[in-house]
Amino acid sequence: MDKKPITKAGLVSDLRNLGVRQGDILNVKCSMRSLGKVEGGAAALIEALLEAVGAEGTIVTDSFIKVYKPYVAKKMPLADDNSFSYCGVLANEMLKHPKVERSRHPVQKFAAIGKYAKEFCENHTDESYAYDILRIMALKGGKNLKIGSDEQIPGVGTTHVAIGMLKLRNSRPYLGVYYMKNGRKTFFRRDWAGICAASFNKFLPYYEKNGDIIARGKVGNADSMLTSMRGTLKTEYDILKKDPSFLDCGDPFCVDCRLNWEFSRGTKPGFILKSLLHGKLMKAVFVARMFYKKYVTLPDKDSKLPPDDFAE
Ligand SMILES: [Zn+2]
C-alpha cells in the first residue's frame, strides 16, 4: 500500500493521462474510498477536476435526494437546493462549493460547476425527465468519468436516459417529496422507472466492442474509466430497443427483474413459494408485503420523458 497521500497535482496528472481534456463536460461518479487518502479530501478532487477541464469545462455529479411515502414526506423538510444528498462524499462536497449550481428537479438533483452549470441546472426542473441532464450532456459530447471499479460503481448513468427514451416501464413503490411550486407546498411523486443495480455492468462488453470506452486507468489508487456519453447511450439504446429484457440481471431471487419490469414473467405467489422452498424467508416476506403497499407502474402516461434522439 502506498502511504504517501495523493495530491491535487497528482490527480490532475492522472485525469489528463486518462484522457480528460480542457473544455470537457464530465459526468463524474467517484468512490472516495477507492481513490485513497487525498490531501485536502473531496474538495481537492473537485479542484483537480476543475483544473483538468479548465474554464471552458463543466463537471456534473449526482446529488439526488431520498423519497418517502406521502405521509412521511409531509413531515420531512421541503425538498430544495439545500437538501442533503445520499450520493456520498463528493456530492455533498460539490454542494458546498461557492460556484455550484443544483438542478431544480425536486428529486433527481444534479450538482454542476463550470461553463454549462447554470444552463443545465436551470433547465432541469419538475417538468423534465429525471435524468435529462445526462441526455443533454451526451448530445454536447460529454464524457462519463468513473473513479472506482465497475463493482464499486455499477453503471455510467446514461442507461437511465436510454430506458426513458424507450419508455420501458416497471412497477415501483409510490414515493416522493414535498416541494414549493408556485408558492404552494406540493407533492412530487417519483415518476421514472428504476433499474436493478446488477444489470448495469452487462453493458460493459458492448461499450468495449462499440468503442465507447475512451480509456481505462488509475486516478489516485482507483481503477477508473472514461467513456463517451453519446457512445454509451447509443449502445444502451440499441440493445434495449431490440430486447428490453437485456436488463434482466438473471438472479432468480431479484424482485426487480423477476416481478417488476413489464418484461418480467414471475408472479408474486410463485416468487413467495420459490423463496420459501429455498429457505429465503425474508424474500418471501418482502414480496408478501408488496400486496399491501401502493405500487405504480412508471413512467405513467403523464410522466415527462426525454425526446427519443435516436428514433429513425
Ligand atoms: Zn435484478
Reported as a single tens digit per residue, the pLDDT across 177-194 is 999 999 999 999 999 999
Q: What are phi and psi of 151, to 5 degrees?
A: -75, -40
CA-to-CA distance for 159 and 203, rounded, in angstroms? 9
How far is the centre of ligand 1, averaged over its atoms, from the C-alpha of 170 (Å)? Answer: 12
249 Cα: distance to centroid of ligand 1 (angstroms) = 4
State whether residue 54 is helix, strand or coil.
coil
The Å distance, Cα 252 to ligand 1 centre, comes to: 8
What gap in Å lies between CA 286 and CA 232, rounded to an integer? 34
CB 57 within 8 A of CB 22: yes
109, three cell numbers? 438533483
Count of CB atoms situated within 10 Å of the CB of 86: 11
Helix (H) or strand (E) holding 226, with range, is strand 222-228
CA 283 – ligand 1 centroid, Å: 14
Q: Please give the span between the terminal C-alpha atoms of the chain, in angstroms, as a whole number.
A: 52
Q: How far apart are CA 87 and CA 279, in angstroms?
A: 33
Query: How far away, in angstroms, is 67 Cα from ligand 1 center?
Result: 21
Residue 22 — φ and ψ, nearest 5°?
-55, 135
Which pLDDT score, from 0 to 100, does residue 86 have?
95
pTM flag (> 0.85): yes
Q: Residue 32 C-alpha to ligand 1 middle, in angstroms? A: 26
Residue 241 CA, ligand 1 centroid: distance in Å: 19
Q: Please name every residue paired with 145 in a beta bridge, in sequence order, or none if there are none.
A: 28, 226
Tell me the CA–centroid distance for residue 195 and ligand 1, in Å: 8
Q: Measure 133 CA to ligand 1 centroid, in angstroms.
A: 25
- The alpha carbon torsion through 218, 222, 223, 227 (nearest 10 deg) reads -80
Task: Give whole-number Cα distances, 125 to 105, 122, 268, in Å.
Answer: 4, 7, 36
What are the 10-residue block averages of pLDDT along the chain, 312 residues in total? Answer: 82 98 98 94 97 98 97 96 93 96 97 98 96 97 96 93 95 96 96 93 97 97 97 98 96 95 95 96 95 92 86 80
Q: How far apart are CA 190 and CA 126, in angstroms?
A: 10
For residues 48 and 63, give the distance between their C-alpha atoms in angstroms, rounded to a whole number.
Answer: 19
Asked if 168 and 308 touch (Cβ cutoff 8 Å), the reply is: no
Centroid of ligand 1 to alpha carbon of 153 (angstroms): 16
For 46, half-sphere exposure in the C-beta direction (CA atoms, 13 angstrom radius) is 22
Cβ–Cβ < 8 Å for 280, 293: no
Measured in Å, residue 250 CA sits from the centre of ligand 1 at: 6
Distance 85 CA to ligand 1 centre (A): 24
- CB distance 174 to 300 below 8 Å: no
